[in-house]
């Protein structure tokens, strides 16, 4: 849990503020899971702080929430392209992806259980980042990621909004967005490594 709190603070997820009058203060909870290696051995105990987004109210602390997810036929298309052209495929997995999304609404949350701020016990967390559990979190992460990819000269395909294409000179690349998992392939190894390095540094 300490690692998760440290990651949240590092991302600037919230400052502590006095709760505004009549503000909706969301609760939060810890969820736990075990991470295993390819042999089924436990390698890590993972704790994640999740906001109780089911208490959010439309038009107040969230508006739009739809976020596209890659369709299975699109996944197959990417695999076919890479296989037929003998291009390498690299799988990107963004750690704490949602925390890179920035909130547009004012969202307030109680202190994480077990981490009550002793200096400001009556304060609440004013969320700046799209923490897991909020209704708009997937959308805000998708917006942040695709804006960055478009600045990299990727373009949305007409086939699927989660499928982006790169075409500059003789270089071709395709990237697929499935929440925080992104398979990417290209005919240019140097460009592929540059893209991967850029995304790892940015996110």
Tell me the C-alpha distance between 18 and 55, whole Å.
20
Angle, CA of 65, 6 and 143, to the nearest 5°: 25
The predicted pLDDT at position 6 comes to 87
The predicted pLDDT at position 41 comes to 80
The predicted pLDDT at position 35 comes to 77
Closest CA to 128 of 102, 108, 109: 102
74-94 pLDDT tens trace: 999 999 999 999 999 999 888
The predicted pLDDT at position 2 comes to 84
52-67 pLDDT tens trace: 999 999 999 999 999 9
- The DSSP-derived string for the chain is -HHHHHHHHHTT---EEPPPTT--EE-EEEEEEEEE-TTS-EEEEEEEEEE-GGG--BTTTB---------HHHHHHHHHHHHHHT--EEEEE-TTGGGGSEEEEEEEEPPPTT---SS-TT-EEEEEE--TT-TTHHHHHHHHHHHHHHHTTEEE-SS-TTEEEEEETTEEEEEE-BTTEEEEEES-HHHHHHHHHHHHHH-
The predicted pLDDT at position 129 comes to 95
The predicted pLDDT at position 34 comes to 82
The predicted pLDDT at position 180 comes to 84
For tokens 């909706």, the residue is: 24
The predicted pLDDT at position 73 comes to 93
For the chain, residues with pLDDT lower than 70 are: none
List the domain boundaries for the chain: 2-202
């Amino acid at each position: 849990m300490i690692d998760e709190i440290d990651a949240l603070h590092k991302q600037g997820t919230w400052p502590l503020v006095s709760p505004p009058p009549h503000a909706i203060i969301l609760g939060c909870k810890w969820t736990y899971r075990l991470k295993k290696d390819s042999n089924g051995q436990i390698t890590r105990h993972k704790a994640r702080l999740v906001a109780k987004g089911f208490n959010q109210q439309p038009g107040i602390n969230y508006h739009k929430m739809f976020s596209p997810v890659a369709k299975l036929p699109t996944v197959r298309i990417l695999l076919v392209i890479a296989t037929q052209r003998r291009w390498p495929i690299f799988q990107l997995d963004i750690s704490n992806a949602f925390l890179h999304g920035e909130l547009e609404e004012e969202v307030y949350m109680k202190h994480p259980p077990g981490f009550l701020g002793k200096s400001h016990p009556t304060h609440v967390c004013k969320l700046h980042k799209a923490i897991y559990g909020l209704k708009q979190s997937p959308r805000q992460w998708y917006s942040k990621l695709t804006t960055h990819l478009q600045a990299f000269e990727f373009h949305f395909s007409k086939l699927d909004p989660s499928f982006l294409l790169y075409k500059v000179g003789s270089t071709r690349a395709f990237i697929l967005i499935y929440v925080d998992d992104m398979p990417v392939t290209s005919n240019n190894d140097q460009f592929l490594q540059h893209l991967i390095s850029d995304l790892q540094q940015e996110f």
